[in-house]
Amino acid sequence: MRKKAVCYARFSSSKQREESIVHQLEKITEYCKTHNLTIVGQYIDEAQSGTTDRRTNFQKMMVDAEAREWDYIVVYKMDRFSRSVSDALHYQKLLKSHGVDILSVIEDFDSETPEGGFFNLITMGMSQLYVQNLRRSVMAGLLQNAKRGMATGGIPPLGYDFDVNMKLIINEYEAETVRIIFDMISRGHSYRKLAHRLNEECRHTKEGGPFKANFHDILKNRKYIGEYVYNRSIPKRSDGKRNTHDSKAEFEIVRLPNAVPRIVDDITFYKVQEILRQREHNHRHPRLKSKYLLTGLLQCEVCGHSPIGNVTAGGRNKTPRLVYVCKNKINTPCHQKDFNMANLDGVVKTFIKKYLLAKNKAPELLIILKKVLEDFRSHSAIKMAQMSNRIEELDKDINVLVSQISDVKRSMERIIIDEIKGLEKERNNLFIQYRALEIDLSNLVKPTLKSIYETIKQANDTLDNEPKNVLRNFIDRIIIGNSGVHMILNSGPFLSTEPLVSKLGFDVSFPHEMVRKVKYVEWEYDYEKIVYKPKKDSKVKLESL
């Protein structure tokens, strides 16, 4: 009895030379005649890449094979069947379990014999190599273009045009827009405010429209510091979908410094990256908008969550009472006691008003700030050394993993790449923090009595109208717990005009007793510990703002 066969032919869209479907089918038909096979069906996939498994008719063929109605799949060439050794072996094993064998016109082998199987493997191995080579040569071509600063397609980013050779050149008017964008974000303005200003000035996007409050892609674009990045987008997964939130591992990306004319300086660019990182962080850990003065600044000493303002009815008269309460009570109970809101607000306000924003305290503040600054510098030096050691370590680890990639099985490749990406993420975050710290150090302004007076005056001027804003500017956080209240002040406003990156703090402590009952206190500064403590037996009346 003549054995039955189906044909499988595939044609990919890429420009490489290959046999047409018609040609493949002709050869297969010829082959079947000489080998005494009856063709009972054909499966054809067109214009799809051989590296993915999303070949619709191939998949259908694999399913149909289970019915055992035919004995062979005949292909013109093994690389039409699969271009990866591991996939081919996988499918071959599967087919074998349904009693189906693969035959190739070009690689005429019998996979029943050891020689056939071996030849099979080698041939497919070569196909895989071929695909990798192809990728490499495409990449090389793109790299060549990138090196010449040429575009690899698409519209140029805002701030650039293409010249006649498709090389990126600066569009001066748009470049000005880009500089405004980076400048405003580096000074802490919101996307919305930025969009408003740009539209007011009748500036426009690359597409010619008004700006919407989304500048993320522009702010992340490394072309603005002259870097040409190619091959960042992630390849399709085996199911043919693309994960747009992901990006390739760093070693797969081509980065060429100084390949594009620069629009933004490094300092501004890295400062913006740090701000974006922090905004993302704040987005994940939002501070509540609240009518209560200290909500958002408070942190529970017991569980770390943010206490919020609340009204409780307690006591004999059931009179409503305003308290700060750890909201974590709602889910997993936190046994932190409520804090009387009026007392806590009063203590904090009094301190800020009498010790931080008071002209007569400026000389004392100057000494404290100098000490804080000194501490920050020596601490930063240590931290930066640690960071740069860690970056070096990570670089080494990444290099080792990258060198292993070519040796491992394909199934392992993804795992290693994911690991590399994890390391790279840590490395890049560290690098941004390192640069930010470096820039911050160089930007720090040495405080003087005059500058302190100015800061105090400015804060006092806005204190009445926007007490919450002023407090948020000067207070980093207030940790409340059973032992008392611990406030971490932010000295940034005194030290530089834009306290964006570093939080230079010094501490204030209030004993629990004070917030609960005692309303008379005076603080003194402990220069050794950089902390304000209530003076013993002091009697100063609490004042409200």
- CB nearer Zn ion, residue 372 or residue 480: 480
- CB nearer Zn ion, residue 186 or residue 328: 328
Considering the rule CB under 5 A, would residue 273 count as an interface residue with Zn ion? no
- CB nearer Zn ion, residue 82 or residue 336: 336
Please give the sequence-ordered ranges of beta strands (E in DSSP) within 20-104, or none if there are none. 37-46, 72-75, 101-104
From the CB of 324, what's the least distance to Zn ion, in Å?
A: 11
* Rounded Cα gap, residues 446 and 504, in angstroms: 13
* Rounded Cα gap, residues 446 and 279, in angstroms: 27
- CB nearer Zn ion, residue 104 or residue 336: 336
* Rounded Cα gap, residues 87 and 93, in angstroms: 10
The two tokens of residue 475 are 């207070």
The two tokens of residue 355 are 């010790």
- CB nearer Zn ion, residue 24 or residue 306: 306
Whether 168 and 160 have beta carbons less than 8 Å apart is answered as yes
- CB nearer Zn ion, residue 76 or residue 292: 292
- CB nearer Zn ion, residue 334 or residue 356: 334
From the CB of 336, what's the least distance to Zn ion, in Å?
A: 4
Binding mask 350-379 for Zn ion (x = CB under 5 A): ------------------------------
Q: Please name which of 260, 264, 274 lies closest in space to residue 178, comparing C-alpha atoms.
A: 264
Torsion, Cα 199 204 207 212, to 10 degrees, reads: -30
Tally DSSP H helices, then E strands, for the chain.
16, 17
* Rounded Cα gap, residues 218 and 169, in angstroms: 17
From the CB of 534, what's the least distance to Zn ion, in Å?
A: 24
Please give the sequence-ordered ranges of beta strands (E in DSSP) within 495-545, or none if there are none. 505-511, 523-526, 531-534
- # chain residues binding Zn ion, by CB under 5 A: 7
From the CB of 328, what's the least distance to Zn ion, in Å?
A: 4
* Rounded Cα gap, residues 470 and 488, in angstroms: 14
- Within 288-347, the residues that bind Zn ion by CB under 5 A are 300, 302-303, 326, 328, 334, 336
From the CB of 326, what's the least distance to Zn ion, in Å?
A: 3
Count the alpha carbons within 13 Å of 341 in the hemisphere toward its beta carbon: 18
The two tokens of residue 161 are 């045009």
From the CB of 339, what's the least distance to Zn ion, in Å?
A: 11
From the CB of 481, what's the least distance to Zn ion, in Å?
A: 9
Whether 486 and 478 have beta carbons less than 8 Å apart is answered as yes
Whether 460 and 361 have beta carbons less than 8 Å apart is answered as no
From the CB of 303, what's the least distance to Zn ion, in Å?
A: 3
From the CB of 281, what's the least distance to Zn ion, in Å?
A: 21
- CB nearer Zn ion, residue 208 or residue 286: 286
Q: What angle do CA 109, 113, 116 make, to 5 degrees?
A: 30
* Rounded Cα gap, residues 250 and 237, in angstroms: 18
- CB nearer Zn ion, residue 303 or residue 479: 303
User: Interface with Zn ion by CB under 5 A: which residues?
Assistant: 300, 302-303, 326, 328, 334, 336
